[in-house]
Amino acid sequence: MALPAKKQFKFWGLAAVVFAVVMWALGNVLLPFILGAAIAYMIDPIADRLEAWGMSRTGATATITIAALLVFLLLLLVVVPTLIYQLIDLINVLPQLVRDARAFAVEHIPSLFEQDTRIHKAVSTLGETLQSRAMELLQTALGSAVSLLNIVVLLVIVPVVAVYLLLDWDRMIARIDELLPRDHQPVIRHIASEIDKVMHSFIHGMGTVCLILGSYYAVALMLVGLNFGLAVGFIAGLVTFIPYLGALIGGALAIGLALFQFWGDWVSIGLVAGIFVIGQIVEGNFLTPKLVGDSVGLHPVWLLLALSVFGALFGFVGMLVAVPVAAALGVIARFLTEQYLNSRLYQGQGHRDAGAE
């Protein structure tokens, strides 16, 4: 005899509450394991392909691990030092940029510095607020989990977790499938399959888009001659998965740096702005439709809402799980909508009687 629907609802509701409480209480502890699971999930199709070519699961995992280590060492020796130096130089040069901006404002907008004016008071208040927030952010960063020790632990644990999960991924999925409730197994399998398709399409597609755009921005900005072009391209590409935010942050940073570096050379400033305009046109009309596709079904507003809510509730870990959870909720919402459209609640008894005739 199947468990009544009311009791099932209570059970799964309680399970969801327990999951949310665990995420909230153990977010920082679970971070390496969530990252490791995400990496194993993304690499699993490659391991499956290698298995189809005749490799064992252990051999496929070892091959992927060695290739990842080689790529990591290459990046560590070639790209990372330059990126770190540029980021450090960018942080060091920011005070000078602020002083130059102040001198420019004094010369061209003197009303900003006239005492007892509304503009001056607003600018002063904004400056004091930013300064206080910056000090709070610095103190939090120095005293929080973002310490050198935790970063080292993260770099050690995440790859180990990813390798072990990748090795046992198929067995874990098979075991979870065995534990599904028998009455609901077909429906759960169907929903899980749809969620898997959405997540693979979004994660792999957006990962490729981020890599392409980040490389394009970095190379193009360096060719134009913009200082810190590699760092700006890295930042813009990193946050491209958040709609419009990558172009907004990267474009504002690049154009701001270009204004100070190329002031008076409007051609160079226009080239920097044009790089981001072209990037957005290519991303919106070619990269995202081709690599991500419309079938993903994650509206930018829905994605931003998920990132905001999960980030506020669970911190950085919440932002990591926001995209897959949003994808899962989107699939479930579409499934429930389909069930509703086929139900008597929507169609009514009159429609059912007419269909029977």
For tokens 């392409």, name the residue. Answer: 212
Q: What is the pLDDT of residue 113?
A: 58
| Length in residues, the chain | 357
- Are the C-beta atoms of residues 164 and 43 closer than 8 Å to each other? no
Read off the pLDDT of each residue in 23-34 and give the average, rounded to a whole number.
73
**Range in 173-177, 289-293, 308-312 with the lowest mean pLDDT:** 289-293
Residues sharing a CB contact under 8 Å with residue 346, sequence separation 6 or more, in sequence order = 340
Comparing CA positions, the residue from 277, 285, 295 lying closest to residue 331 is: 295
Instruction: Give 309: exposed, middle or buried? Use CB within 10 Å, 0-12, 13-18, 19+.
Output: middle
For tokens 């939090």, name the residue. Answer: 140
Q: What is the pLDDT of residue 45?
A: 87
pLDDT, greater one: 87 or 8: 8
Q: Of all residues in the chain, what percent carry a pLDDT higher than 70? A: 67
Task: Render pLDDT for 109-145 as a digit per residue (tens, 0 to 9).
Answer: 666 556 666 666 665 665 566 555 545 544 554 444 4
Residues sharing a CB contact under 8 Å with residue 28, sequence separation 6 or more, in sequence order = 145, 315, 317
Separation CA 251–CA 321 (nearest Å)? 27
Q: Is the pLDDT of residue 30 over 60?
A: yes
Among 51-55, 144-148, 176-180, the range with the most confident prediction by mean pLDDT is 51-55
* pTM (predicted TM-score): 0.64
pLDDT, greater one: 177 or 261: 177
pLDDT, greater one: 84 or 302: 302
Read off the pLDDT of each residue in 300-321 and give the average, rounded to a whole number.
73
Separation CA 225–CA 261 (nearest Å)? 10
Q: Is the pLDDT of residue 149 over 60?
A: no
Q: What is the pLDDT of residue 224?
A: 86
Give the CA-trace dihedral at 240, 243, 248, 249, to 10 degrees: -50
Q: What is the pLDDT of residue 146?
A: 47
Helix, strand or coil for residue 65?
Answer: helix
**Range in 37-41, 189-193, 343-347 with the lowest mean pLDDT:** 343-347
- In the predicted model, what is the mean pLDDT of the chain? 75
Read off the pLDDT of each residue in 151-179 and give the average, rounded to a whole number.
83
Task: Render pLDDT for 48-102 as a digit per residue (tens, 0 to 9).
Answer: 889 889 888 888 899 998 998 888 787 777 666 666 666 666 666 666 666 666 6
C-alpha distances (whole Å) from 112 to each of 177, 259, 307 are 66, 20, 37
Comparing CA positions, the residue from 83, 72, 331, 314 lying closest to residue 189 is: 331
What are 159's two structure tokens? 């790859």
- Are the C-beta atoms of residues 244 and 300 closer than 8 Å to each other? yes
Read off the pLDDT of each residue in 10-17 and give the average, rounded to a whole number.
79
pLDDT, greater one: 342 or 301: 342
pLDDT-derived band of residue 22, with 50, 70 and 90 as boundaries?
A: confident
Q: Is the pLDDT of residue 204 over 70?
A: yes
Q: What is the pLDDT of residue 120?
A: 60
